[in-house]
Amino acid sequence: MKKASPLMAGLAQFDRNGAPEPPPANAAQSPPKSKSAPSRQGAVQIAAFFREDVRAQLKIVAAEQRRDIQDLLAEALNLIFVKYGKPEIAPVKHANKRTC
C-alpha cells in the first residue's frame, strides 16, 4: 500500500476542518510608517529617462561645480520656469559662484 504524502495529509485535514477562519476585523494593520528621510517630507520625486551619456555628463558637471545632481536639476528647473514666465520656486542649495 502506498503511504500518503504530507501534502495529501494536510489537504485531508483541511477538508475535515473546513476553511480557516478569517482574522478578526479589529486586527487591521496600521498604515506602514514612512521610510523617507525627514528632509524629504512633503517632497515628491520628479524623474525622466535619458541615455547613459546624458547622466554621465551631468555627473561630470556636478563634480566640476562641486554640487550634487539635485542642486543642478533645481537650477535647471528654475531656468525653465523663468523662460516660461513662472516664479523660480525650486530650492537651490548652492548658487553657481564660479566666474568665467
Q: Give residue-wise pLDDT tens across range 35-76.
A: 778 888 999 999 999 999 999 999 999 999 999 999 999 999
Rounded to whole angstroms, how far apart are CA atoms 68 and 72? Answer: 7
Domain containing 74: what range? 51-94
Domain membership flag for residue 76: yes
- CA 30 to the chain's CA centroid: 21
Domain membership flag for residue 46: no
Predicted structure pTM score: 0.59
- Kindly give the interhelix angle for 52-65 and 69-83, rounded to the nearest 10 degrees: 100
Split into its structural domains, the chain has a count of 1
Percent of the chain's residues with pLDDT above 70: 66
Residue type for 34, please?
S
Domain membership flag for residue 20: no
Rounded to whole angstroms, how far apart are CA atoms 26 and 24? Answer: 6
